[in-house]
Amino acid sequence: MFCPKCGNEIKEATKFCPRCGKELVNQQGSAQQNSNQAQNSQQTKNVKKHTMKTISSKNMEQTTTSGFGADLISGNIKEKHFQKFYTYVKREKKTGMLVYLTTLIVLLFCVCITSFPNMIHDDGFFNTIFETILGVALLWCSFQLILNGFGQACMRLIIGASKIERQDMIESITIPVEAIIAEARRNGLTLPDDIKVYQMKTDEAVVYAFGMNSIGVSYAMTELPEEVFKAKVLAELYRIHIMDPDYLLFMLGSNLISMILGLFAIVVGWFYMTFGDRRKGLLTESDSMMGALLFASSIVCLSAWMGICFLFIRGGVRANQFEADRYVAQSGYGEALCVYLDNCMPRAFKVGLKLLEMGHPSRDHRIAALQKLGVAYKVY
């Protein structure tokens, strides 16, 4: 038996081609199955049309049966988003992220406390209080921007995701994804009511959720079997359900200021180390020596902090990905997800995709975890 798409020789009982992922139909009972597929295809088109009309309605009611309930996510997910994100982390006992958030808050608090006396001495008591309140307000607003539309828009620029405008792309990408979203809501996933579907400008077959309101799909993904396509989309929707896409946005945003300051200190240190005065005073070091110390210490501190942040985020992202895969397996698409991971998932990621894959477990670890859950997948 040969694959009708790539011509690879395969065994009779194989459900998917191990090379290209093409769904196969056994010769026995193929006519009946083709008839059923035609009937199911027409039913699917009718469901998609009905789902499209339902999703376009702004007054669509959302059923919530998830663990953290409608009190955590209701209506527009963008309202008080950071507060909901922090509440979810505490409720679900996400230890790594909770430690990271606590460490960040403690560091900010220590910086404010140590600089408060000098600020009072220089600016006066009332001016200091005003500046402190203003700084806290700006910090809070920055967290909101990071986790909401601004952060997702920045991520779209990095990964090359664009709005879908062509009608053929809407039919092949937007409508199927929105149909899966509607089905996932009916099955109990708590999803925001304003998820937008974008096209990812890559030749690889990929689907990624970046932020709570954005999901990107490449055109190559639509050429895969329907079960494989649906399995990957369901995994990303479950990540939205547990707020996993916010981990990366929060890590990048909360460390943006520290990265800018660290890079500035490195540049200043390098400048003084290279062009500074090398004459040493009686009780002071030379400008060149101080610049070298600033340059080296800035690199060490920035690298250490970035490494610690990555470890905190990696623990949460890794656990959430395994949880999403388990949900897909329980939904009956575990084998299809294994086919995607083993045959269709990119072997080498570009810069933007590497960012989205940060902290995720390897394909072999994910397949092994699915097989332990009872998914009957083997490489033929």
Within 8 A by CB and 6+ apart from 3, the residues are 9, 10, 17, 19, 20, 22, 24
Q: Is residue 108 scored above 90 in pLDDT?
A: no
Give the pLDDT mean for 246-255. 77
pLDDT of 203-245, one tens digit each? 899 999 988 888 999 999 999 999 999 999 999 999 999 888 8
Which residues are paired to 197 by β-bridges? Answer: 215
Give the closest residue to 23 by CA, choosing from 355, 364, 333. 333
Give the H or E element holding residue 136: helix 125-147
The pLDDT score that the predictor gives to residue 221 is 93
pLDDT of 355-380, one tens digit each? 888 888 999 999 999 999 999 888 76
Cα(344)–Cα(338) distance, rounded to whole angstroms? 10
Radius of gyration of the chain (CA): 26
The pLDDT score that the predictor gives to residue 43 is 43
The helix, strand and coil proportions of the chain, stated in percent and rounded to the nearest 5, come to: 65, 5, 30
Give the pLDDT mean for 329-348. 92
Q: How far apart are the first and last CA of the chain?
A: 13
Cα(152)–Cα(149) distance, rounded to whole angstroms? 5
Burial grade of 161 (CB within 10 A; 0-12, 13-18, 19 or more): buried
Amino acid at 233: V
pLDDT of 260-317, one tens digit each? 878 888 888 888 888 877 766 555 667 788 888 888 888 888 888 888 877 777 777 8
How many residues belong to the chain?
380
